[in-house]
Structure 1
Amino acid sequence: MMLRSACLVAAFGIAVFGITVQPAAAQSVAASDPESVLQAIRAHGHKAKLEHDSEGYPIIHVTRAGINYAVYFYGCDGNPADCRDLQFSSGFDVEPALTDAWANAWNRQWVAGRAEVDEEGDPRLTYFVTTGSGLPEENFREIMQVWDVTLDGFMEDIGW
């Protein structure tokens, strides 16, 4: 009888007040929580290690299929706990040297990522992401997929 009463009360609450049971909140990935970024990168199958630079800002060093890249934290307003943005970055030493014209042409063809060439003609690919107060894990997985495809295309274009 007690169980039946509890079920009736629950049904009444749902019918009258629109009470529903919400699923557990999905984990959020945010630049303000470097550990969440680290775990999301690892969940994508990349080997990653969280470290801090000389000013105390987080940096994640990542290896993916033998290629190294880093994830830098930005938008911190002087406090690492306030970071809101990430920049994925991977640089390569190539011969022959590439030019700014090459980077400009690459940037016109690719929507995601930004190519640049240093003073020695070595290319670097960066990818800027704003996490704000946090992204659902599913959205971050999509960001990782875009980074993977863009990085693969970049490496192919530089002959890596």
Structure 2
Amino acid sequence: MELRTLVAAAVMACSVLAAGPAVSRNLPAGGVTRQEVAAWLEAGGHPATIHADSAGEIIVSSSNGGVNWDIYFYKCAAGRCADIQYAAGWTEITGMTLDKVNQWNHDKRLIRAYLGPKSSVWGEYDVVLSPGGSWEQLDTSLRDWSSAVLRFKTFILG
């Protein structure tokens, strides 16, 4: 083997070792606050409003692609929540049957669908953030939710 080839291989090996592993940005212990989630959404170009829903739960509302959706917070302590749930609902959907909802749940991942009162249809996606969650995990969950909720809307509205 030529000396030039050996030197090139050694330089490449050193640069790979020096780069080290990718570092994720860990979420704070205990999860996220509603304010952090709203700021994260806004930083990514999504609208975000913190408010109480009809049951009095404090949620964050946003939208994409003409679909309004909410983020609910679970396993909260001292303002930090370990789990979140993306949720979107449509009311008075004619022709929606349990068989059609079951077809979605059987064939698709991520969004769990169910029928509600007065011909409403709901889709939800749960994310466990703590312990061990990262901002990259949250980014991935939003990317997955954003594309899946648009497919879900097309599925239920035809």
TM-score, length of structure 1 as denominator length: 0.71
Single out whichever of 40-49 and 30-39 deviates more from structure 2.
30-39
Aligned to 1:17: none
Change (3 A) 1:28 1:117: same
Q: Please list every run of 5 or more consecutive structure 1 residues that lacks an aligned counterpart in the other structure.
A: 1-22
Matches within 5 A, 1:65-144: 65-76=65-76, 79=77, 81-133=79-131, 135-144=133-142
Moved over 6 A (4+): none
Change (3 A) 1:159 1:86: same
Q: 1:141 Cα deviation (Å)?
A: 1.1
Whether 1:60 aligns to 2:56 is no
Partners of 1:117 and 1:123 within 8 A in 2: yes
Q: Please list every run of 5 or more consecutive structure 2 residues that lacks an aligned counterpart in the other structure.
A: 1-21
Aligned to 2:25: 26
- Which amino acid in the other structure matches residue 151 of structure 1? V
3-state SS, counterpart of residue 140 of structure 2: helix
Partners of 1:97 and 1:122 within 8 A in 2: no
The whole-number CA distance in structure 2 between the counterparts of 1:98 and 1:31 is 36
Q: Percent identity?
A: 24
TM-score, length of structure 2 as denominator length: 0.72
3-state SS, counterpart of residue 83 of structure 1: strand
